A and B are shown apart, each in its own frame.
Chain A
Amino acid sequence: MKIVCLIKFIPDVEDFKYDHERNVLIREKMNQILNPEDAVAVAFALNVKKYYPSTTIELVSMGPQSIIPKLEELLRLDLDQATLITDLAFVGSDTYATSRIIAHYLTKHKFDLILTGTHTLDGDTSHVPAQIAQWLGLPHLSNVNSIHMNSIDLGRLELSVDHDQEIMSFAVSTPAVLSLQKEAPYKLPYVRFEDLNKDVSERLKMLSLKDFDLKREDVGFEGSKTKVIKTYAQTLNRQTKIEVTTDEAGIQTVYDYLKDKGFLK
């Protein structure tokens, strides 16, 4: 079985530093992390490989070359190949153009299953997986929270989907696109100490616009259906800082605050 994992690296939201004087995010040296739901998808793929050792896993990501070290870190797990789609021409691609570029790559390759996350922490539209499935003419399910391992070699996957307040069971024929959610019980393992500096460059492939049968106007800003009319920095109100001491008055202040905000009844 061949599994393709579509992944994206995003700024670490826990590492955001904010310039309160200028009201802007400080983006310099911001740490990039693997989108948490994409990590769940890769973790599940690794589980499959553990269960069915003949499985091969390819990572596909679109982004700047600065994410190469991050892809290499992932390759040091038991992953077979990573493909980075990277070109300045792709900058500004919206979800439509992005899904078109990635789908274009996938149409030329054989696979049995495409796994990805349902949401990304930075964009959160959930468009890309569904649009890729549309381009490829494949079934797609999002918010997948478990896939029954025993059903994998039957050509018909049995899985559970988190739908609001209920968990629904589905069966889907492969190939298919499945978007996992972060609540799914799959955790990405860590690279072993012995493999931390392993050379994996041979398993990393980079593609640019010239490798696609796409024109310049199909990608980037030009190829995007979404037009940005205006951007602005969200206005933040400075919070009043309240300092309390560990005495009765301080405890009362904290209690009143939590009650006021609805955390206590």
Chain B
Amino acid sequence: MNHDTLLIELSKILGKDQINTNPEELYDASADRYKKYAKARKVLNVPAPVAIIYPKTSREVSTLLKFCNDNDINVIARGGKTATEGGLENWKETTLIIDAKFLDKIIKVDYYNMQATVQAGVALQTLEDVVRQMGFTTGHSPQSKPVAKFGGLVATRSIGQFSTLYGGIEDMVVGLECVFPNGHISLIKNVSRRAGGPDIRHIAIGNEGTLCYITEVTVKLFKYYPQNNQFFGYLIKDVDTGISILREVMVNGYRPSVARTYSEGDAGQHFYHFHKGKCVLLFMAEGNVDIVEATAKGILKAVDKFSDGILEKVDSKLIEDWFNHLNWSQKDIDDEIEGMLEKDYHAGFTTEVSADWETIVQIYKNVMRRITKEFPRANDLTLLGGHSSHSYINGTNMYFVYNYKINCNPEDELRIYHHPLQTIIVEETLKLGGSMCHHHGIGKYRNEWTKQEHGSAYFMLEKLKEAFDPKGIMNYGTIFPQEDGKKYQK
């Protein structure tokens, strides 16, 4: 179908205010934050979508997906636009972006049953603000909280900064509604728990728009006690010490909402005013008074056990101040782009991996060694480090962070800098049995390792794709590797 015909057909399904063909907005919709520098420099090498469309109901989503499926039109589901791994990037000449902008209703907030139901386009901050007024919280707080929307958060298997207490989004979603390419609308009901066969929520959670379009989500609510928060900070000898203390806290059953260890380099960018060139360990205990007291005791006990690695205690007010400035707003995102244009400098590129306690430090060390030794542009790195920020009973994550001066053409930046760095991180992680993608999803730029990531279980992923999206119209290139996508990757 040619693009003019497509727009005519769309106008038969949607109102005028639901079809956006503004060239600047289509250019913006061509790629996500993965290519933020190239996008800002106006050198994107991927096709623009034909239109951004804004359905108002699940029924409209159903009609649109069926239309796209019947006409082989690629569909990219979009929420708050904070994707970082190319999940929102377009690789097809004929693509529609289905944006959740008008799916913006808070359907029900049920404080007795501790759950809230929202449409996919509701921003996390919006719901959080509503429930906070009543003394509750969603417990979900990714850095993108002011901008990110529920559809995207669930579709990308998001995690928040207080995950050690509240869990990732997969622990919060009670039920959801989603629409499949053939137009079928599935509603997964909200129950506290059930043993009704496989947990089908997980077909939608983390599907990154490759299987279905999420239209509605029900999440848990938690009581909120900010007045009880306690903060703990330490300068520590090395990353090993920090990971050992995190483990000690977790395996003894404590659940601080924030539990983090920063390498020297990474600490420098977050805690420049007190890190003194050392690694930083920090915690926040949150919840009702009794739980906070118990958690605080557990933290102090763990710190005491590894006191040989503790160099100095940090004033808890400094940790609290840092905590109060964690999230970035739309203005922060815009300022970041301005900064990159002024300085040809890329700050804050990351790759996040996870592994068990025994392995994570080894991965960290191997990555640091290989990057220093092998990365041809090591001289352009202005920061190389990482932090562990999400811990579990059996392991933790490592958030590798690297900043660099960009000494190449803007269209080559990712291939010269980010991708070789990410390759080293992914290779070392997979080699030691970890996961290459702790919480950013696979997107389009880690799909070359999807098969390795899942091993023999990749069979199950493939079958899901075949079953739910047999014509492959859902977010072409995301999660599932595509031969003709290599021209954008390598």
Contact = CB atoms under 8 A, between A and B. Distances in A.
Interface in A156-192: 189-192
B288 interface: no
B202 to A, nearest CB: 39
Given A245-B273, A246-B273, A193 B379 contact: no
B415 interface: yes
B430 to A, nearest CB: 25
Contact of A190 (B273, B379, B409, B415): B409
Given A15-B379, A31-B379, A246-B273, A193 B415 contact: yes
B416 interface: yes
A196 interface: yes
B416 A196 contact: yes
B129 interface: no
A239 B179 CA distance: 65
B interface bracket (residues with beta carbon within 8 Å of A): under 10
Given A15-B379, A31-B379, A193 B273 contact: no
A190 B273 CA distance: 36
Interface residues of A, number: 12
A38 to B, nearest CB: 16
A29 B397 CA distance: 33
A97 to B, nearest CB: 31
A12 B379 CA distance: 10
A246 B409 CA distance: 38
A246 B379 CA distance: 32
B206 to A, nearest CB: 32
Residue from A12, A190, A196, A243 having most chain B Cβ neighbours under 10 A: A190
Contacts of B60: none
Residue from A15, A189, A193, A243 having most chain B Cβ neighbours under 10 A: A193
Contacts of A12: 379
Interface in B259-300: 273
Contacts of A189: 409
Nearest to B412: A193
A191 B409 CA distance: 8
Contacts of B379: 12, 15, 31
B40 interface: no
A192 B412 contact: yes
A12 B378 CA distance: 14
Contacts of A193: 408-409, 411-412, 415-416
B482 interface: no
B330 interface: no
Interface string A13-28: 0010000000000000
Contacts of B409: 189-190, 192-193
Contacts of B407: 190
A15 B380 CA distance: 10
Interface in B394-435: 407-409, 411-412, 415-416
Interface in A1-50: 12, 15, 31
A191 B407 CA distance: 9
A150 B412 CA distance: 32
Nearest to A246: B273
Nearest to A30: B379
Interface string B69-96: 0000000000000000000000000000
Contact of B412 (A15, A190, A243, A246): A190
Interface in A167-225: 189-193, 196
B332 to A, nearest CB: 18
A196 B407 CA distance: 13
A31 B379 CA distance: 7
A196 B376 CA distance: 11
B213 to A, nearest CB: 35
A220 B379 CA distance: 32
A15 B405 CA distance: 13
A31 B405 CA distance: 14
Residue from B379, B407, B411, B415 having most chain A Cβ neighbours under 10 A: B379
Interface string B375-388: 00001000000000
A196 B415 CA distance: 11
Interface in A102-139: none
B32 to A, nearest CB: 21
A31 B378 CA distance: 10
B143 to A, nearest CB: 21
Contacts of A243: 273
Nearest to B409: A190
A225 B273 CA distance: 52
Contacts of B408: 190-191, 193
A193 B43 CA distance: 14
A35 B442 CA distance: 42
B411 to A, nearest CB: 8
Contacts of A190: 407-409, 412
A196 B409 CA distance: 12
A192 B408 CA distance: 8
A138 to B, nearest CB: 34
A243 B274 CA distance: 9
Contacts of B415: 193
Nearest to B318: A245
A193 B488 CA distance: 12
A53 B273 CA distance: 54
A190 B408 CA distance: 5
Nearest to B321: A246
A162 to B, nearest CB: 25
Nearest to A196: B416
Contacts of A196: 416
Contacts of A246: 273
Contacts of B273: 243, 245-246
A246 B325 CA distance: 14
A176 B256 CA distance: 73
A250 to B, nearest CB: 9
B68 to A, nearest CB: 34
A194 to B, nearest CB: 9
A74 to B, nearest CB: 13
Contacts of B416: 193, 196
Nearest to A15: B379
Contacts of B411: 193
B317 to A, nearest CB: 10
Instruction: Rank and list the top 9 A-B pairs by shortest CB-CB distance, nearest first.
Output: A193-B412, A190-B408, A190-B409, A31-B379, A193-B415, A193-B416, A192-B409, A190-B407, A15-B379
16 contacts: A15-B379, A31-B379, A190-B407, A190-B408, A190-B412, A191-B408, A192-B409, A193-B408, A193-B409, A193-B411, A193-B412, A193-B415, A193-B416, A243-B273, A245-B273, A246-B273
Interface of B: 273, 379, 407-409, 411-412, 415-416
Given A15-B379, A31-B379, 4 more contacts: A189-B409, A192-B409, A196-B416, A246-B273
